[in-house]
Amino acid sequence: MTLIPAFGLGTFRLQDQVVIDSVRTGLELGYRAIDTAQIYGNEAEVGEAIASSGVRREDLFLTTKIWVDNYARDKLVSSLKESLAKLRTDYVDLTLIHWPAPGNGVSVDAFMAALADAKSQGLTRQIGISNFNIELTKQAIAAVGKDAIATNQIELSPYLQNRKLVEFLQNEGIHVTSYMTLAYGKVLGDPTIGAIAQRHQATPAQVALAWALQLGYSVIPSSTKRENLASNLLAQTLRLSDEDMALIAALERNGREVDPAGLAPQWD
């Protein structure tokens, strides 16, 4: 049984003092899961914020992601060791392959084996994937077994509900982590979500996050503002009705925000 916190703090696009402040504030407010990645260029700052927070390492759940340049068997483990040094820790709780990057010269078999090797060395407690479609997830399962894959972290919002992929993952017992749950803020102005928020005396962000949580996904929203960081946390106690959930289900529009050429797969 995978144990991934339902609520975490994302750090995508946050740099330098901005990310230090965001993580430090998040930890003060009670966040205990932090999500970063090698390509974000902020692992050292995340490590600094954690070190100065006074929160014990064993009380935290740290996720990082291996960048495409480091997928080769002779690079992956050493790159993760560099990440650990930046994060000022002996291990991370979860390490993901960031993008499948089909055609970059390293097979799914090879990078999943290297990731499993990192786990066997104790560098990471769990391993997983990010931005994988059904076919590539099947290849990852063939490489290491579905029980070894803790999560597939995918773009998922009321505007991009990814039902086919989600159904496959849930049938395989692979946890879904939703990133970009607010669709770069686009769903915050949605009238349907606004009306639901008003009914619950909640914010639109809380509604979108609560929707994902009620579907069983983990969420990792980011913010640089204390009031938003605090407000987002309250999504955990917001209970949406079946009618609310049905209204949000109807917002699907295949509204993908992130689709980098050369890194992304053929989406389902």
Q: What is the DSSP string of 184-236?
A: GGGGGG-HHHHHHHHHHT--HHHHHHHHHHHTT-EE----S-HHHHHHHHGGG
Name the nearest CA neighbour of 215 among 178, 172, 252: 178
Residue 208, domain member (yes or no)? no
Q: How many domains does the chain have?
A: 1
pLDDT of residue 60: 98
Contact 255, 157 (CB under 8 A): yes
* 40 counts as catalytic: yes
Element (H, E) at 92: strand 92-97
pLDDT of residue 133: 98
Residue 234, domain member (yes or no)? no
pTM over 0.85: yes
What is the dihedral angle through the alpha carbons of 231, 214, 19, 12, rounded to the nearest 10 degrees? Answer: -140
> Can you give the length of the chain in residues?
268
Name the nearest CA neighbour of 140 among 128, 122, 131: 128
Residue 24, domain member (yes or no)? yes
Name the nearest CA neighbour of 57 among 82, 97, 88: 88
* Angle, CA of 102, 120 and 125, to the nearest 5°: 85
Q: Among the options 31, 40, 159, 217, which is catalytic?
A: 40
Judged by DSSP in three states, 267 sits in coil
Calpha distance 140→102 (Å, rounded): 13
Q: Which residue positions in the chain have pLDDT lower than 50?
A: 1
Name the nearest CA neighbour of 146 among 134, 138, 135: 138
Contact 213, 3 (CB under 8 A): no
Name the nearest CA neighbour of 53 among 78, 83, 30, 71: 30
CATH number of the domain residue 116 falls in: 3.20.20.100
Residue 190, domain member (yes or no)? no
Is 175 assigned to a binding site? no
What residues make up the domain containing 68?
Answer: 9-183+218-224
Tell me the DSSP string of 45-82.
Answer: HHHHHHHTT---GGG-EEEEEE-GGG-SHHHHHHHHHH
Contact 36, 247 (CB under 8 A): no
